[in-house]
Structure 1
Amino acid sequence: MKDGFRTRMSLLHTWAGLILSGLLFAIFWTGTLSVFDKEIDRWMMPHTRIHMDTARPLSVDREIIPLLAERAEGAKAWTIVLPAERRPFLTLAYDSAKSHIAQRNSFHPITLEPLPAPNTRGASNFIYPFHHNLTLRQNNIGALMVGIASMGMLCLLISGIVIHRRIFADFFTLRLLRGFGRANLDIHNLTGVVLLPFTIVITLSGLMIAHLIYFPKAPDAVFAQLNPPSVTQERPKSKVREASRKREQDVSSENEDEITDAREGSRNSPARSRFIAESQGRVRPQAIGQPANVAAIAPMIAVTESELGQGAVYMIRVSNPGDAGGVVALRLNGDNSVSQNIDNRRFSTATGEELAHFNSSSTTNVFNFIAGMHYIKFKHWPLRWLYFIAGLGACALIATGLLHWTQARNQKQGSTGFNVSFMNAHNIAAITGIISATGAFLVVNRLLNNREQFAGISSRDLEVYAFFGVWLACLLHALIRVFLNKQHGYRKAWAEQCWAIALIAISAVGLNWITTGDHLLKTLFTHTYWPVATLDLVLVTSAVMAIYAARKLSVIRES
């Protein structure tokens, strides 16, 4: 019975891996890059390469509010995102009074000069969303596919524990000089054992934080008989959907709160509104129709930070400015905690009087801690790098699992069958293909150099087209190489795509130098700027590793 159970787990492990590993590699790859999405943004948006150590504290009342009064007249809400180390610029967002379409402007934190519009999605608006919804937002198709893949990953991890008899011995076994097959399997076993806590936690937390996508009617089970809070304001559904669509296109991952607000509105229901208000403290106060001036906001921030510490406030949201019923909500950062901080303080817009505190419940705090482990909002660079390395290790775990299945069959069969040839091409496209596509995304960004459009196509779209176009080209290249020579074509395809990765990576570093003047010697030594220097170093390291792999593959193919 024991042997039968292990055999069934082995079959589950094999088939789940063959079906889902390509998608899982893409999810883990983009998730790993998202650990440093804001740093990649600095590389892709040169005008935001600002040294925060020279910035001064901004006066909300004397400097920021006048900017909003000038630009956001008649808006029903203002959002102010204060500059921070990983987001070194002031951001002002507001809804157009007529169309409810979110407008967004960025300003230099020292001069308050408007920054050029970023004609790129950057990592925050493409790589990060790809990680959790594959950029397939219609009816949450992409998020559902990611959820299915995540459940498959849990099955792979659990079945992997069952079928490996030597799980503790594998922790100390790594035979890199015993041939590719042996070394590949040892890397698979070692990463699977060492990273088991990480992969389980990151996969399970990803499923949990998307629970309202997978179970959209769950709040109805608890709140179906309750009325929504009186402070919640509903907008016409057609306008809400348009606002939600625009926000999800234009709002970066650094403001998930704004994205969440848009998504909540697009599914307006009494039960859901009550659930969001009580669990997350997000309410939309209604205007009462009595004009009033906006009270000084600086004292509100001072009161909050005297209790919670200097710099505790990172976002200020003013609902119904100019109305006596308006509310100023101060949202708190979570830089010093793993737990995602959703607490806020609310004040009257007209009088400055403190209205309410929202402190999340113990149950919500457990959820916030789980979400925080996945979102990685905390400001702790060593831990952030550990996440990045662990993410790369998870990618290696998935890749070596795929290679183990095909390598064993490539060696056994005289002429490779269709299924093995197909998996060879699949593996090449799934691994080197998406790496090449990511590099092409960066290269096109620097070639366009924040141009608004090229040949009538917006630059932000061209970058995405380049990503998927190169990925598709890698798949076609792999299919042609493998099926023209089923026995040895896959090795040639691997080698050629490794050369492509090296060329693309070096091109990205060179183009960054040419278009911005920020070469490695400058960003490392004379005008140190670590976000740009680190990405350039990662690209150079990737090129060196790709060249090494390509040369080794060429030697194997020729021998």
Structure 2
Amino acid sequence: MEPTFRGSMNWLHTWAGVVLGGLLFAIFWMGTLSVFDREIDRWMAPMTRLALPAKPISFDALRPTIDEAAAARSAFWAALLPTERQPMIRVTWRDATGPVVRYLDPVSGHALPDPGTWAGTRFIFPFHFNLHLRAWNIGLWIVGFAGMAMMALCVAGVVIHRKIFTDFFTFRAEKKPRRLILDLHNVTGVLGFPFHMAITLSGLIIFYMTYFPSSLQVAYGGNNQVFAKEAFDLYNRPKVNKPGELASLDAMVAETTKLWDGDSPRSLVVRNPGDAAALVQAVRPGEDRVVARTDTASFDGATGALLHHRTAGAPVLTTQRFIAGLHWIQFRHWTLRWLYFGLGLVGCVLIASGYLFWLESRRKKHQQLGLQGVRLVEGLTIGSVTGIIVATLSFFVANRLLPPGIVFLGVERFALEIWIFYFVWLATFAHAWLLPARAWLDQSRAIVCLAVAAVLLNWLTTGDHLGRSLAQRHLWSVAGMDLLLLLGAGLAAVAARRLGPRTVITHDTKAISSRGAS
């Protein structure tokens, strides 16, 4: 540590960034993609590229899947109903093997083919907040620690930049790489500072029960049920272990529509399906506001009688739901959604430029002293930045190449996609450490090839080329995905072009020097 406060903040900013930058980039990258997780779902699962029906389906047509859940003795059955971003019905329950997910046609109620992919909502989005490390909530704790570090990095960055507002308007593209990278780091840091602080803090607040369990222990003696009742006004009742039939779901939905001034439910949940004490709960949509709505109407499954109606929560809960809503961005506002996406990418550039500045400012000294620190961190940087992008694009390409229903060595299709992602990501780290002189160039070229290949494969395997997807409103999400892939390919091509000549010159110079010395 340094003797002065500003020096200590500089030390903290530098080394916390170096140690945690790779993890933070992965979290920011996956979080940025999660802004359009449902659009990614539709690109990766062509059978879900449906038009939103003008007339809602009869909810009683969903009974066959409820009967399946009852036969599997599942404690619940849940259905997410169609929206513009997700025009199919998504039903879930649990059987002896684990979660069951089905997609249903919103018009007929018939099951759609198994997409065979976890796509955005089941792979990319959970990776953002738990890294798919669910045992003992390890992933949540790692991401939470990284979130705290990100906030500390932001504050330390403000402290060490005395001319922070001047730096915001300073970008010297014609200067040496080190100066240019620092300017880029400063600009992205100041531009995204409010967003980065808000998005990081809100992410921590969402999982307050995991990070601050002592509050529940002290206030409620660890009694989760009492806490849930007082804080969330949750309504439930035990099963009676007697068979029972459900009353008309359509009638219950009609009553909720009256309660909610014409709003149809966003989701339906049947608790204890097949039991005489089954409970049907309808959840109100919240796409028209930031606050993550918790309005729920609970009905007796057998009679259809309204048992409980939860509306606005307590002030503290409403505040927490507002903060959660800011982070989840489930509200219907496309301008803000694109703003979130852009600022997420700004965060990625901020982290990457911080790594690059560290490398450029120490490369010459480490070479003179024969140290390996720069080579180690450069490999970490390449794998963390271009590597995860290459892995993500490989995930998309694999999705278009793997045949439906394929099983390889007992591994199902969705798992094969995920294994390809991790294998390619690890390979990019190995490539970066083994061939550091060419790694940036090679991986930039890989991004170009994979992004273009993904667009072409989408066309060849589904017929949804850009001309078609742009012409049909319900395919705009597919068009947006293709356009972003092509834009990313273009940016990577520019980067590869700038890197190529410099790399060749560097190697030629070394070769000439070696021949001269001999």
TM-score (norm 2): 0.91
Partner residue of 2:444?
498
**Is it true that 1:361 corresponds to 2:314 in the alignment?**
yes
CA contact (8 A) 1:281 1:344 kept: no
CA contact (8 A) 1:436 1:470 kept: yes
CA contact (8 A) 1:499 1:550 kept: yes
Partner residue of 1:271?
223
Equivalent residue of 2:78, what SS?
strand
Partner residue of 2:510?
none
AA matched with 1:298: D
Q: Distance in 1 between matches of 2:442 and 2:65?
A: 53
Partner residue of 2:346?
393
Q: How much does 1:412 deviate? A: 5.0
Q: How much does 1:75 deviate? A: 5.1
Q: How much does 1:82 deviate? A: 1.5
**Is it true that 1:282 corresponds to 2:281 in the alignment?**
no
**Is it true that 1:512 corresponds to 2:447 in the alignment?**
no
Partner residue of 2:31?
31
Partner residue of 1:524?
470
Partner residue of 1:58?
57
Percent of aligned pairs sharing the same letter:
41
Q: 2:121 aligns with which of 104, 120, 124?
A: 124
Q: How much does 1:42 deviate? A: 0.6
Partner residue of 1:188?
185
With 281-290 and 385-394 compared, the bigger mean Cα shift is at: 281-290
- State the Cα deviation string for residues 274-302 of structure 1 (Å, max 9, x = none): 21233223343112456654222323322
With 537-546 and 86-95 compared, the bigger mean Cα shift is at: 86-95
TM-score (norm 1): 0.85
Q: Distance in 1 between matches of 2:69 and 2:374?
A: 60
Q: How much does 1:413 deviate? A: 5.3
Alignment of 1:162-181 (within 5 A): 162-181=159-178
With 327-336 and 17-26 compared, the bigger mean Cα shift is at: 327-336
**Is it true that 1:479 corresponds to 2:433 in the alignment?**
yes
**Is it true that 1:375 corresponds to 2:325 in the alignment?**
no
Evaluate the alpha carbon distance shift between residue 70 and residue 26 of structure 1 in structure 2; reply closer, same or farther with a 3 A threshold.
closer
Equivalent residue of 1:313, what SS?
coil
Equivalent residue of 1:529, what SS?
helix
Partner residue of 2:66?
68
Task: Give structure 1 stretches of 5+ with no counterpart.
Answer: 225-269, 483-488
Evaluate the alpha carbon distance shift between residue 526 and residue 342 of structure 1 in structure 2; reply closer, same or farther with a 3 A threshold.
closer
**Is it true that 1:330 corresponds to 2:276 in the alignment?**
no
Q: 2:154 aligns with which of 139, 147, 157?
A: 157
Partner residue of 1:11?
11
CA contact (8 A) 2:67 2:274 kept: no
Partner residue of 2:515?
none
AA matched with 1:333: P
AA matched with 1:318: V
CA contact (8 A) 2:40 2:119 kept: yes
AA matched with 1:418: Q
Partner residue of 1:264?
none
Q: Distance in 2 between matches of 1:135 and 1:323?
A: 34
- State the Cα deviation string for residues 36-77 of structure 1 (Å, max 9, x = none): 11110111111111111x44211123x223553467446553
Equivalent residue of 2:223, what SS?
helix
Q: How much does 1:334 deviate? A: 1.3
Evaluate the alpha carbon distance shift between residue 294 and residue 100 of structure 1 in structure 2; reply closer, same or farther with a 3 A threshold.
farther
Partner residue of 1:251?
none
AA matched with 1:554: G
- State the Cα deviation string for residues 477-504 of structure 1 (Å, max 9, x = none): 111123xxxxxx2xx2211110111111
Partner residue of 2:199?
202
Q: Distance in 1 between matches of 2:271 and 2:70?
A: 12
AA matched with 2:26: A
CA contact (8 A) 1:34 1:124 kept: yes
Evaluate the alpha carbon distance shift between residue 70 and residue 168 of structure 1 in structure 2; reply closer, same or farther with a 3 A threshold.
closer
Evaluate the alpha carbon distance shift between residue 292 and residue 551 of structure 1 in structure 2; reply closer, same or farther with a 3 A threshold.
closer
With 28-37 and 167-176 compared, the bigger mean Cα shift is at: 167-176
Evaluate the alpha carbon distance shift between residue 445 and residue 362 of structure 1 in structure 2; reply closer, same or farther with a 3 A threshold.
same
Q: Distance in 1 between matches of 2:427 and 2:278?
A: 54
Computed over aligned residues only, the root mean square deviation of the Cα atoms, in angstroms, reads: 2.2
Alignment of 1:182-331 (within 5 A): 182-224=179-221, 271-288=223-240, 292-321=244-273, 323-331=275-283
Q: How much does 1:3 deviate? A: 8.5
CA contact (8 A) 2:129 2:139 kept: yes
Evaluate the alpha carbon distance shift between residue 203 and residue 451 of structure 1 in structure 2; reply closer, same or farther with a 3 A threshold.
same
Q: How much does 1:84 deviate? A: 1.4
Q: Distance in 2 between matches of 1:508 and 1:476?
A: 24
With 83-92 and 546-555 compared, the bigger mean Cα shift is at: 83-92
AA matched with 1:328: V
Evaluate the alpha carbon distance shift between residue 306 and residue 207 of structure 1 in structure 2; reply closer, same or farther with a 3 A threshold.
same
Q: Distance in 1 between matches of 2:141 and 2:321?
A: 22
Q: Distance in 2 between matches of 1:424 and 1:118?
A: 38
Q: Distance in 2 between matches of 1:346 and 1:100?
A: 29
- State the Cα deviation string for residues 306-350 of structure 1 (Å, max 9, x = none): 232334411111223455533221111211111111221112223
**Is it true that 1:405 corresponds to 2:358 in the alignment?**
yes
Q: How much does 1:179 deviate? A: 3.4
Q: How much does 1:171 deviate? A: 2.4
Partner residue of 1:444?
398
Q: How much does 1:526 deviate? A: 5.8
